[in-house]
């Protein structure tokens, strides 16, 4: 099994979800996160005083997939999340040692 993790622009979440569903992905986990990469934060001005906001809001998408599906999922993710502008995010894949479905106790690919 592999864990595909993607950091994407929040407004791209719907496209990403749709693309993964089309591929037959059964579930995913989404969290709101903040950070910075090449796209730095921004400044806000209140009553003439500048405030630097260092972190940019992003969405983290996590998908568990079978080994042979990982590349297709990554491709679908980057196609759906790409705008071509700085700040589009990152996708990475990590190996998963153990996977268990909590309700049934099924293990490995059966738990996907």
Partner 1 sequence: MGINSGDTAWVLASSALVLLMTPGLAFFYGGMVRVKSVLNMLMMNFICLAIVGVLWVLYGYSLTFAPDAKGGLIGDLSNIGLKSTIDQVSTGYPDSAGNYPHAIPVLAFVMFQLMFAIITPALISGAIADRAKFWAWGLFVVLWATLVYFPVAHWVFAFDAVGPDGTTIVAHGGWIANKLGAYDFAGGTAVHINAGSAALALALVLGRRKGWPKERSRPHNVPFVLLGASLLWFGWFGFNAGSSLKADAIAANAFTTTMVATAAGVLGWLLVEQVRDGKPTTVGAASGAVAGLVAITPACAFVNGLGGIVVGIVAGVLCALAVGLKYRFGFDDSLDVVGVHLVGGLVGTLLVGFLATSTTGAGTRDGLLMGGGFDQLRRQAIAAGAVMAYSFVIAFVIGKLIAVTIGFRVSDEDEGAGVDTTEHAESGYELGAVTGVGSAYRPVPLSNEAVDA
Tell me which residues in 71-90 interact with partner 1 (CB under 8 A): none
Least distance to partner 1, CB of residue 88, Å: 26
Matching residue, tokens 């099994």: 1
Minimum CB distance to partner 1, residue 18 (Å): 26
Nearer to partner 1, 45 or 86 (CB): 45
Complex with partner 1: residue 49 or 68, whichever CB lies closer? 49
Contacts to partner 1 from residues 29-48, by CB under 8 A: 44-48
Say if CB 74 and CB 91 are below 8 A apart.
yes
Q: Smallest Cα–Cα separation from 64: which of 107, 18, 10, 12?
A: 107
CA distance 89 to 109: 28
Residues in the chain: 112
Note the residues at the interface with partner 1 (CB under 8 A): 44-49, 51
């Amino acid at each position: 099994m592999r864990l595909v993790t993607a950091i994407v622009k929040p407004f791209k979440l719907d496209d990403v979800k749709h693309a993964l569903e089309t591929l037959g992905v059964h579930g995913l986990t989404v969290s709101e996160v903040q950070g910075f990469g090449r796209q730095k934060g921004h400044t806000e001005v209140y009553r003439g005083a500048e405030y630097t906001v260092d972190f940019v809001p992003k969405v983290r998408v996590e998908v568990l997939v079978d080994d042979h599906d990982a590349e297709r999922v990554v491709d679908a993710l980057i196609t759906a999340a790409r705008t071509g502008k700085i700040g589009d995010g990152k996708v990475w894949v990590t190996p998963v040692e153990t996977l268990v479905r909590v309700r049934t106790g099924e293990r490995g690919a059966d738990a996907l």
